[in-house]
Structure 1
Amino acid sequence: MFFNEFRYNLLTTLRDRHFIMWLILFPMALGSLFKAAFSDIYENDIKFSPIPTAIVQTQKDDIFKEVIRSVSKGKDALLKVTYADSAEEAEKLLKDGKVAGVITKDGTLGLTVASNGMDTTILKAFTDRYLTEEKLIKDTLEKDPMKLPALTAALKDDLKTVKKVRLTDGVSDPYITYFFNLLAMVAACSSVTGLNVVMQNQADQSPLGARKGCSPTPKLISTLAVLAGCWLTGMMCTAISVSFLAFVLKVDFGSRLGFVYLAAMMGGIMGTSMGFMIGSLVKESYEKKNAVAMVISLGGSFLSGLMIADIKPDIMEKAPLVNALNPTAVVCDSFYYLNLDAGYDRFIGKMVTMLVMTVLFTAVGFIFTRRKKYAGL
């Protein structure tokens, strides 16, 4: 009996066009828009990449050549160098937008740029530093050549005083939070599937519920079977969303993708249970139950930062209890801590919170649906 109820609910849910639209296709479309909107911003304005630079060297200078070679190699290269045979060739590259600046070395060091920006600032700082150190070396050669090795060693040590240290192995893209919120929204919107638990087991809600009221199958078994089917559906929706973002849109979730799946599916179970509770508390038609579920889900998504990223930190500062009680924010925080922290303590804390919320929502749903009597149908 349990398996038949479970299988029937799963099949009917998967055939629901509204379910397919809002829990599978809509997140895919929104995720694609996020990817198109934010990927270029991160790549162009935030993520550092070697600066394309044209080099024109008309006089032999081994020191300059070695410096350029050292700053244009390795994974932390500062420059992406293109050597030009003449100033005219370099200027054409600059005019065509193929390089950000032109460095010339013809006795003196010169820099030509097309516009202001971060790349221009970095190139200016690089050339200024080179000129300063070149003067130091020349002055030392003129006044006391014996000090040249000590000066060279000091300059090399100075270059090592500042180095890049990663505080976490997570993704540094600040726009990844929008994708975290998208997955949290899918989990919360799974509440619409949880409404089926009530609709299919209350005789005054649907013809199917009326038939089940006359069925010899115990109501507890029937409710558990439908709820289990809804849980599985919620898990499938979130897993599909994670897979689409990670493997189709190539969103980088870091090295803990398995835990991202785990948190998303736990969020889907919690969202489904929230829908079960909403369906049992709202004593109206399916349309009104669905409207309440969507308002709560999308309202929670808004407060967790899906529409305005800065709203969540403001709420955390002024009303932290709101974030703690917002199921969508809890799911989003689990992804955030998974990406930010080296350990798993805060991530596990959010998983436990989702489990507690699931138990609470499910318990309330059972309390308000058990032993319901009908004067007439």
Structure 2
Amino acid sequence: MGHLIRYNLKLLLSNRTLVFWTLAFPILLGLLFKGALGDIVNKEAFDTVPIAVVNSQVYQDSTFKIAFDDLSKEDSSPVSSKNQPLLKLRMVKTLEEGKKLLEDEEVSGVVEITGTSQTGISRDAKAHLTLASNGMEQTILKAILDEIAQRTDMISQLTQREIAANVRAHSPPDFQNIPPGQPPAFNPGQVAASVQDKLAKSGFTLRDRSPKSMDLLMAEFFSLLAMAALYGGMFSMTVMNNAQPPLGVIGRRVAVAPTSKAKLIISGIIASYLLQLVGLILLVAVCHVLFNIDFGPNWALTFLLTSLGALVGLSFGVAISALVPGGENMKIGVLISVTMLGAVLAGMMGGTMRYVVDQKVPLVNKLNPTALITDGFYNLYYHPGFHGFWQDVTLLLLISAVLLGASLFVLRKQRYDSL
């Protein structure tokens, strides 16, 4: 098996076109990103972002109010050296009033918090952002709302634990039979409000990020890594194409070779995975050392996500080869087209596209491996150890298993009348 793996490595590396598009092209694209956008991010003057907020009771009782109040204070901007707030709030009574301000270009976005409010605490609070254009200010707004949503989940979990602890501490056997007019031992709304108050006093803030955390290039490079992972599927697709007799002379030779076809395919898959993994590790190193992209403190999880990205790319290439009819050029075209579409939906061409997709059709990016890999890097940096990262990992493993399973099912049923 070892000599077969070495043979496949030499065969894949001898294809200069394949090596360029899978290993060299992502690095060149990263250089273009840095050269074209780096000065814009570093030198563009930053102004406080004006936003309109619908002043509802749900908003008043929600975590979003705590965060917005904090971000509207002086010296709250992590991307400005001046003592200026990150946000300037314009409170409006209705969404229509906010949209009017947006049309008049008095604000960059309108935020409406929906949900229910009960006993001083909002339940199922969700933020809806309305934008009129795509730019740095709009991208900052989306990043802020994403961050607050993550913190809101944490508050909800802490509140549930606190209430459960109070129930255990104050619940006699007849707790459900409290006499009418007698107050219960505790108020769930007060418990939730207490949790929010504790978090607010103990550092619930978005101002503790380093200046790099608001670097708008980071999202571009995270999506670039995800795109490169899917592009790496060309290696495994080439291996599978070479094993199919209808696609060329190499496939016909493999079919009549005395060596086990299974060994040839498995060795080729291993070789393609190793090449793809090395290419992704090299790209991560270049991004970190040359482009100053920070991946967070946990390099073990970064390597895990990189390895899963290579696995998804491998599965994607195998699936394209097995499931897409037509010749090699057709399969390459499908792989590139699907990869680029996934990168666009994941936010490679601007954060607004990703936000619109997540709001309108959230299932799309849950099935989009490019978006999941991008989210994984995002979670590693902003929320290390947070459950969102492990959700991305689980979905990537499921997608890989489904693609490989479907490919194996189709390949086992293939029969050829003649070679």
User: Which band: TM-score by shorter chain?
Assistant: 0.5 to 0.7
Secondary structure of 2:33's match?
Answer: helix
Q: How far does the alpha carbon of each residue in 1:273-299 deviate from its partner, in whole angstroms, 9 at most, with x for none?
A: 111011001221111111111111111
Root-mean-square deviation (CA), in Å? 2.7
Aligned with residue 248 of structure 1, among 290, 295, 303: 290
Aligned with residue 270 of structure 1, among 301, 312, 319: 312
What residue in structure 2 maps to residue 110 of structure 1? none
What residue in structure 1 maps to residue 367 of structure 2? 325
What residue in structure 2 maps to residue 309 of structure 1? 351
Could you tell me how far apart the structure 2 residues matched to 1:37 and 1:257 are? 28
* Residue type at the aligned position of 1:253: F
Pair 1:361 & 2:393 matched: no
Contact 1:242 1:261 in 2 (8 A): no
Secondary structure of 2:44's match?
Answer: helix
Pair 1:5 & 2:4 matched: yes
What residue in structure 2 maps to residue 370 of structure 1? 412
1:194 Cα deviation after fit: 1.9
What residue in structure 2 maps to residue 35 of structure 1? 34
Could you tell me how far apart the structure 2 residues matched to 1:234 and 1:266 are? 11
Contact 2:22 2:234 in 1 (8 A): no
What residue in structure 1 maps to residue 378 of structure 2? 336
Contact 1:231 1:268 in 2 (8 A): yes
* Residue type at the aligned position of 2:342: G
Structure 2 vs 1, CA of residues 288 and 166 (structure 1 numbering), >3 Å: closer, same or farther?
same
Per the normalisation by structure 2, the TM-score is 0.59
Could you tell me how far apart the structure 2 residues matched to 1:342 and 1:260 are? 10
1:257 Cα deviation after fit: 4.0
293-302 or 11-20, which deviates more: 11-20
What residue in structure 2 maps to residue 235 of structure 1? 277
What residue in structure 2 maps to residue 21 of structure 1? 20
Aligned with residue 190 of structure 1, among 224, 232, 240: 232
Q: How far does the alpha carbon of each residue in 1:176-226 deviate from its partner, in whole angstroms, 9 at most, with x for none?
A: 100001001101111211212321211222222211211233332222221
Q: How does 1:176-187 map to 2 (within 5 A)?
A: 176-187=218-229
What residue in structure 2 maps to residue 298 of structure 1? 340
Could you tell me how far apart the structure 2 residues matched to 1:231 and 1:177 are? 25
Q: How far does the alpha carbon of each residue in 1:146-193 deviate from its partner, in whole angstroms, 9 at most, with x for none?
A: xxxxxxxxxxxxxxxx99864557823232100001001101111211
Contact 2:298 2:380 in 1 (8 A): yes
* Residue type at the aligned position of 1:25: A
Pair 1:286 & 2:328 matched: yes
Q: How far does the alpha carbon of each residue in 1:98-134 deviate from its partner, in whole angstroms, 9 at most, with x for none?
A: xxxxxxxxxxxxxxxxxxxxxxxxxxxxxxxxxxxxx
Could you tell me how far apart the structure 2 residues matched to 1:281 and 1:291 are? 14
Contact 1:185 1:301 in 2 (8 A): yes
* Residue type at the aligned position of 1:38: L
* Residue type at the aligned position of 2:3: N
Per the normalisation by structure 1, the TM-score is 0.65
Could you tell me how far apart the structure 2 residues matched to 1:345 and 1:250 are? 26
Q: How does 1:128-167 map to 2 (within 5 A)?
A: 166=207
Could you tell me how far apart the structure 1 residues matched to 2:46 and 2:351 are? 19
Q: How far does the alpha carbon of each residue in 1:227-270 deviate from its partner, in whole angstroms, 9 at most, with x for none?
A: 11111122122111111111122223332344333312311221
What residue in structure 2 maps to residue 221 of structure 1? 263
Secondary structure of 1:217's match?
Answer: coil
Structure 2 vs 1, CA of residues 14 and 165 (structure 1 numbering), >3 Å: closer, same or farther?
same
Secondary structure of 1:300's match?
Answer: helix
**Structure 1: any 5+ residue segments left out of the alignment?**
49-75, 80-161
**Structure 2: any 5+ residue segments left out of the alignment?**
48-79, 84-202
Could you tell me how far apart the structure 1 residues matched to 2:402 and 2:327 are? 24
Could you tell me how far apart the structure 1 residues matched to 2:248 and 2:3 are? 19
Could you tell me how far apart the structure 2 residues matched to 1:353 and 1:340 are? 20
1:47 Cα deviation after fit: 7.8
Q: How far does the alpha carbon of each residue in 1:21-80 deviate from its partner, in whole angstroms, 9 at most, with x for none?
A: 1122211111112112333233223689xxxxxxxxxxxxxxxxxxxxxxxxxxx9869x
Q: How does 1:51-66 map to 2 (within 5 A)?
A: none
Runs of 4+, deviation exceeding 3 Å: 45-48, 76-79, 162-170
Structure 2 vs 1, CA of residues 339 and 212 (structure 1 numbering), >3 Å: closer, same or farther?
same
Aligned length: 268
What residue in structure 2 maps to residue 106 of structure 1? none
What residue in structure 1 maps to residue 302 of structure 2? 260
Structure 2 vs 1, CA of residues 317 and 171 (structure 1 numbering), >3 Å: closer, same or farther?
same
Structure 2 vs 1, CA of residues 286 and 179 (structure 1 numbering), >3 Å: closer, same or farther?
same
